[in-house]
Amino acid sequence: MKNHGLDEEIYRSVFEKGCCGILVFDIKKGRFIFANPTICEIVRYSSEELLKLRLDDISPKKDLQHVIREFTKKPQRNRSITLNIPLLRKDKTLFYCDVNLKPIRIGEEKLLVGFFKDLTLCRHSCKSLRDSKERLDYILSKIPIVIYTCKVDGDWATTFISKNIQVQTGHRPEDFTKNAGFWIAHIHPHDKQKVLNKLSNLMDKKHIINEYRFLCRDGRYVWMQDETKLVCDKTGRPVERLGYILDITKSKSADEKLRESEDKLRNIFDSSPHAITITDLNANIIDCNHATLALHGFSSKKEMIGRNALELIAKKEHEKALRNIRKTVKDGIVSNIEYTFLKKDLSEFHGELSASLVRDASGGPKLFVGITKDITERRRVDELRKKAELRKQEIKKLKELDRIKTDFLNMISHELKTPLTALSAHIEVLRDLEGDVSGLKKKSFDALERNKEQLRILISNILEISRIESGKFNLNLSEMDLHKSIDSVINELRASSDKKGISLIKKIGPVPRIRADEEKVKIVLNNLINNAIKFTKKGPVIVQAKKAGGNILVDVIDRGIGIPENKIHKLFEKFYQVEPHLRRKYGGTGLGLTISKQLVELHGGEISVKSFFGRGSRFSFTLPIFSSKKPAEVKNGKNTLHRGL
């Protein structure tokens, strides 16, 4: 190989000292013409023995054709890497090599250089693999590793650099070898001093690795990994610096993306609203996020890290927690396990824990990740929901009882109505037979009439409320003059008010005609005005009406006995009497206000009361002002009224 190549001495040094086996194969003659000491050691032949052999002498017979094909096929891009080539040692033991083949031409001779990497040695020692690969990389001039040598004194002048430096940087090899300061001058200014500081330690450390940005010919910077070793002679005197340069721009970019990803995950971890805790296999906390600190009442991670997670669970549930730890190791995950957790101040709260097992690269258990949720509020809501459900069931039962009672009253009312009609007729007959009566007979007739009327009102009210609650009640809407209806009711009740010396005062402003069931509106007016008269000893009863937005507002005001504040909310319940003893004094069924409320609401209005005990009351109700073109409808047994726009 004399006189062929840039620097025979350099390559000879690499070939002789390299950790890779090197064989030069004469393609035409089919023989080996050069073997370095490493390949001799691998195949256990001497150099002289090996150069007398052919390819089939070191190949298993069954694999010979495969080996020949690999050695003689046309290399891609002037080189070919073949993995797991079977070969035979001198003692005929089988071993495998990775072979890197490179065709070269010396004069008219076509040669094939093979770099052999003994996989047996690599399998026995990862370190040997790394060392072998590192040394092999120094001699592979066609891969993206740039080999160089430099002086060890002065300005570290480059004495040799492989041609592929031009592929990576655009600079020619002679740019480095002819200009001693070229390499240093093209290192990024921010990286230069760091590189020089490391180089100054080369004599002591013998081996250094630098990473720096290097300026390419086109003006861009690329990241380089520069690994260099000090080469010494037999006496230990440094003779040169031998190294390689690798473009790590993509790796740096990937590292940066990885760091960004890790930062992003860390930010997500720290800012997550869920309490996340990481523990070792003994449940010792090794990390946690801010939500965990807040959940357990700690102010810093230092207080949490190092604690055992069992310290955050009530002691009564430790055995349960240990069982679930074992289950997590076995199954890989546990979900939504409820515990009584502890805060820093030892106060308890209800929580839910889900945990998963994280495995290492070999598949073995490594650590636990747990997510804890405070379910105190959820438990409270669940309790309220249960109570509400019980209440719902109770209401359902009460409604059913109320329906049964209503049906019963409805039946009784109908049964009483027939004899009441007969009773009324007989009273009239007796009056006609007796003619003018006085004294005891008159009192008896008056008592009969009074009690008959009370019974009629009771039966009428029961039937009315039964029809409303059954959904079979219809409003007969028509245009009505509220002013006239109020006059009519006042005139009907005038005798009762005069008898008690109570004046009925009317204050009615301009109000439009409305569409309503006049008979039902009169029932409401009658009930409210009659109650006002009944419970007022002296003073006027005022009835007023006015337009209020889209409604007519009607007020009935008295200065009667009033209603205690704590009983107003029950006033519209069926059969309710504010004071039981008043029933004996004033009479009444306790249904008038209930019926009034339901009739007003069926019209789409509202009814309310303001009262001061001992000073009087104000009952108010509203009736919507409907368009005359929108009649009432009854759907599904319920009254549906169309409001005017």
* pLDDT tens digits along 204-252: 888 999 999 999 999 999 999 999 999 998 888 898 999 999 999 888 8
Q: To the nearest whole percent, how much of the chain has pLDDT over 70?
A: 76
Cβ neighbours of residue 57 closer than 8 Å, sequence gap 6 or more: 88
Average the pLDDT over each of 147-156, 299-308, 364-373, 615-624 and give the range with the smallest value. Answer: 147-156
Q: How far is CA 467 from the centre of its chain?
A: 52
Residue-by-residue DSSP string for 286-339: EEE-HHHHHHHT-S-HHHHTTSBGGGGB-GGGHHHHHHHHHHHHHHSEEEEEEE
Higher pLDDT, 123 or 214: 214
* Token pair listed for 241: 């610096």
Q: How far apart are CA 323 and CA 310, in angstroms?
A: 12
* Token pair listed for 17: 């000292």
Higher pLDDT, 45 or 16: 45
Q: Are 455 and 420 in contact (CB under 8 A)?
A: yes
Question: Is a pLDDT exceeding 80 seen at residue 608?
Answer: yes
Q: How far apart are CA 455 and CA 458, in angstroms?
A: 5
Q: How far is CA 388 from the centre of its chain?
A: 28
Q: Are strands 504-508 and 541-548 parallel, antiparallel or unpaired?
A: parallel
The pLDDT confidence band at residue 188, using thresholds 50, 70 and 90, is very high
Q: What average pLDDT does the chain have?
A: 81
The β-bridge partners of 147 are: 244
Cβ neighbours of residue 605 closer than 8 Å, sequence gap 6 or more: 551, 621, 622, 623, 624
Q: How far apart are CA 302 and CA 439, in angstroms?
A: 102
Max CA-CA distance within the chain?
Answer: 163
* Token pair listed for 346: 């030892």
The type of residue at 540 is P
Residue 22 burial (CB count, 10 A): 21
Question: Is a pLDDT exceeding 80 seen at residue 176?
Answer: yes
Give the position of tokens 């008295």. 558
Nearest Cα residue to 538 out of 492, 503, 562, 564: 503
CB under 8 A, 24+ apart: contacts of 180-183: 180/154, 180/155, 180/156, 181/155, 182/158, 183/156, 183/158
Helical spans, DSSP H, in 108-201? 119-124, 126-139, 165-169, 173-177, 182-185, 189-199
Q: Are 230 and 239 in contact (CB under 8 A)?
A: no
- Burial of 411 from C-beta contacts in 10 A (0-12 / 13-18 / 19+): exposed
pLDDT of the residue at 109: 80
- Burial of 571 from C-beta contacts in 10 A (0-12 / 13-18 / 19+): buried
| Pick among 3.40.50.11540, 3.90.1150.10, 3.40.309.10, 3.30.450.20: CATH of 281-364 | 3.30.450.20
Please give the CATH superfamily to which domain 473-640 belongs: Histidine kinase-like ATPase, C-terminal domain (3.30.565.10)
- Burial of 254 from C-beta contacts in 10 A (0-12 / 13-18 / 19+): exposed
Q: Are strands 365-374 and 478-480 parallel, antiparallel or unpaired?
A: unpaired
Give the position of tokens 């008896």. 444
Q: Can you tell me the mean pLDDT for 114-137? A: 65
The type of residue at 231 is V
The pLDDT confidence band at residue 643, using thresholds 50, 70 and 90, is very low
Q: How far apart are CA 637 and CA 428, in angstroms?
A: 39
CATH fold for the domain made of 379-468: Helix Hairpins (1.10.287)
pLDDT of the residue at 6: 45
pLDDT, tens digit (0-9, with 9 covering 90-100), for 528-545: 998 899 888 888 999 999
pLDDT of the residue at 407: 67
Q: How far apart are CA 287 and CA 573, in angstroms?
A: 62
pLDDT of the residue at 632: 41
What CATH number does the domain located at 8-139 have?
3.30.450.20
Question: Is a pLDDT exceeding 70 seen at residue 2?
Answer: no
pLDDT of the residue at 645: 24
Q: Are 489 and 526 in contact (CB under 8 A)?
A: yes
Nearest Cα residue to 357 out of 383, 326, 336: 326
pLDDT of the residue at 76: 53
**Angle CA(117)–CA(119)–CA(124) in degrees, nearest 5?**
130
Residue 357 burial (CB count, 10 A): 18
Q: Are 488 and 506 in contact (CB under 8 A)?
A: no
pLDDT, tens digit (0-9, with 9 covering 90-100), for 570-602: 888 876 666 655 555 555 567 788 888 988 998
Q: Can you tell me the mean pLDDT for 248-269? A: 83
Task: State which H helix or E strand residue 528 sits in.
Answer: helix 518-534
Give the position of tokens 């570290």. 156
pLDDT of the residue at 80: 64
pLDDT, tens digit (0-9, with 9 covering 90-100), for 316-343: 999 999 999 999 999 999 999 999 999 9
Question: Is a pLDDT exceeding 70 seen at residue 139?
Answer: no
Torsion, Cα of 202, 203, 207, 213 (10° steps) = 10
The pLDDT confidence band at residue 521, using thresholds 50, 70 and 90, is very high
Domain 145-254 identical in fold to domain 473-640: no
The pLDDT confidence band at residue 386, using thresholds 50, 70 and 90, is very high
Go through 97-132 and write b for each residue having 16 or more CB atoms within 10 A of its CB, e for each that does not: bbbbbbeeeeeeeebbbbbbbbbebbeeeeeeeeeb
Could you tell me the sign of the dihedral formed by the alpha carbons of 475, 478, 480, 485, in that order? Answer: negative
Query: In a 3-state reduction of DSSP, which class is residue 633?
Result: strand
The CA–CA distances, whole Å, from 56 to 35, 124, 324, 349 equal: 16, 27, 64, 79
Q: Are 412 and 430 in contact (CB under 8 A)?
A: no
pLDDT of the residue at 487: 92
The CATH architecture that domain 145-254 belongs to is: 2-Layer Sandwich (3.30)
Could you tell me the sign of the dihedral formed by the alpha carbons of 4, 5, 6, 9, in that order? Answer: negative
The type of residue at 631 is P
Higher pLDDT, 165 or 156: 165
Q: Order of strands across the sheet with 551-558?
A: 504-508, 541-548, 551-558, 616-624, 607-612
Compute the chain's Rg from CA coordinates. Answer: 54
Q: How far apart are CA 42 and CA 89, in angstroms?
A: 7
Average the pLDDT over each of 13-22, 393-402, 424-433 and give the range with the smallest value. Answer: 424-433
pLDDT of the residue at 635: 36
pLDDT of the residue at 316: 94
Counting Cα atoms < 13 Å in the Cβ hemisphere of 278 gives: 13
Question: Is a pLDDT exceeding 80 seen at residue 444?
Answer: no
Q: Per-domain residue ranges for the chain? A: 8-139, 145-254, 281-364, 379-468, 473-640
The pLDDT confidence band at residue 163, using thresholds 50, 70 and 90, is confident
* Token pair listed for 369: 């990740």
